[in-house]
Structure 1
Amino acid sequence: MNRWTQWPSRQALSRQGVPRVRLMINTGMWVFGASLLLWDVVRDDAFPRWARIVLLAAVAGCAATVYAFRRVTVDHRLGPALALLALLLGAGAALRAVGADNPAAAVWIVGVVVSMERLPLMAGLPAGIVAACSFTIFGDHSLPGGLAAGLGFLLVGYTLRLDEEARGTGYRLLEQERAARRAEAQSAALAERARIAREIHDVLAHSLSAQLVHLEAARLLVERGEDRAMVLERVVAARRMARHGLAETRQALYALRGEMAPVEDFLRESASTEGARFETEGEPRELAAEAGLAVRRVAQEALTNVRKHAPGARVELRLVYRTDEVLLEIRDGGARETSAGGPAATGAGYGLRGMRERAELLGGTLEAGPADGGFVVRLRVPA
């Protein structure tokens, strides 16, 4: 946009973002200046009493005009602003005509400053020049002094304009930053909800489906009049799956909240329980909640698959901390059964296929397949 036709921003023209101390100082300066003018009128014995009352009303009217001018410029209303400015300069001329030189000079000075400060330069500069010329020509001072003073007031108004534009820009940037932070917080909250929902779904989907299978089997056994012990076995299995699912759900929530033991301690305990060998490489560090949870889940799934498909096989767990990722490798050296779904579809947990999807959501990878007569599962996640 052309700078000559551009208004100062509404933030610059309003009081938004102005410190309270600065507002108090600005208000105090305006009140002090108006008080000096009123006092000058009151103590001027050149006017009769009734004339001084009229002059006081005129000065008060000029102050009200300046206030109205400031309000309409905030809304970028050029027509009303120019009309009010013309009224102000006319009031200055009237005051000069009746001999109130000091109030007239003050009105013209204010006209110069507010024109340059608050109007588009295309309108503010000519209006400011008119006010400055009125001050120079009709003021009680020499022509060179009046010209220098008028030019100085023009520069003061333009300097105030630049200062307010800088403040308005800073305020807009601050508001944009706050909006970005609010959006970021909302996005983080939604992502957290999605993570919790996905984790609970992974846990409960397996647990509830297993319970349903056992309970449906129990129903069929009851309908066929089978032995009570067989029915009870299915019910007990369903209850066991329910307890297991509840424990896994709690564990998932603790992990998402960062309230679980470090990943390294968890893997060491799991390896000890399964009789596996565990080792680490690199500098240990705390992992993000989702990365740590993925490592736990893959380790659980892989160890469960070893227990089911290669019982008694030698198992090695290796956790490697790298610069920008963490690697988990579970390797066994025993024979492995195969099934229609493959190893990725079996296990007490959620399947290595589901773990692969979890790793991809984190920007990582999961590889699983035969290696050196056994089977290896290798997880990489950013950390």
Structure 2
Amino acid sequence: MERIYLDHSATSPVHPKVIDTMINVLNQSFGNPSSIHSYGREARALLDEARTIIAGSIGAHFNEIVFTSGGTEADNFAILGIAEAMKEKGKHIITSNIEHHAVLHTCEYLEKHGYDVTYLDVNENGQVSVEDVKAALREDTILVTIMYGNNEVGTIQPIHEIGLLLKDHQAYFHTDAVQAYGVVKLNVHELNVDLLSVSSHKINGPKGIGFLYIKAGTRIVNRFYGGEQELKRRAGTENISSIVGFAEAVKIAQEQMEEKQKRYQDFKMKFLNILTAQHVDFHINGFTDHHSLPHVLNLSFPGTDVEAMLVNLDIAGIAASSGSACTAGSIEPSHVLVAMFGKESERLRNSIRFSFGLNNTSQEIEKAANEVAKIVQRLNKANRK
């Protein structure tokens, strides 16, 4: 049976060129980049080149990129590091109700330690209002953390506008750009952000590596202690093979970005057009235009159940996902959909996320959409009996 992977927002396959690059490094460059001999210098050169490539991808300087173990660590470093560094200036933080749990759970941790966190609501498209950010700002606000593009519904937030709002305020501005990086153009100066988090495995790079952009001059307390690696920001010997693999994935993503945007948008419209032609009852969660990440499509199918949908999709060879965590036979509703539609909405129980990426073809999208149509109609028919 042909399998179709439409869950690239969860993780993505490693690009063959990235695999080749990493194998080459593993075979030939095992030195510690902190060592002064030739083996160490070879590793240091690879590390410096990767940092240069990645810094350039977001318009940052070489010394503003700190490699981490991924997006979760980058988010934690940004939030906890700023909170500790700025606690004498205030203990108020602003975020949104639709952030990734790497942000939300970190903010909840800080609340237990004396910090005051404002969680902003979003509209039915999953977007934060700049006016709400402005209204929430206080003299003691030290950090605003709003994601660039939502991982469940794809909605892009007004990051540039929020950055402008904060220009003359003491609060630092952090954005979790894990879902957006490599898919849409990001420039830290145009966005007016002080910190930005990224993860490699979302862009066809290896798992276990990411970075945090920290604008020069930003006050932040380190989370790891030991040696002076990563510009004295993160102790621990660098994972050179993964960092070099990450940089290769970044180069590929930058070269193919415009083409991917168009292809993914075409996939999105093909999927929707087929469902419409098959007379499938569905609702779009979020946007489908330039306000949404091109590779993310979240749909609600009235009269269906998310667990039944996912099981039937898997049987049909289609990998998709939901924002719900299924544990011990119970479903914890997606916090993103709750924020968008309320706790009583039917969409919490019937929404599926499809996300596109490497190796997906137009033929796969057509087949997947037709299979989805069959499954929805079959489940609706069974429910009416």
Q: By the TM > 0.5 criterion, same fold? A: no
Which has the larger strand fraction? 2
Structure showing the higher helix proportion among its residues: 1
Whose RCO is larger (CA < 8 A, sep 6+)?
2
Q: TM (normalized to structure 2)?
A: 0.22
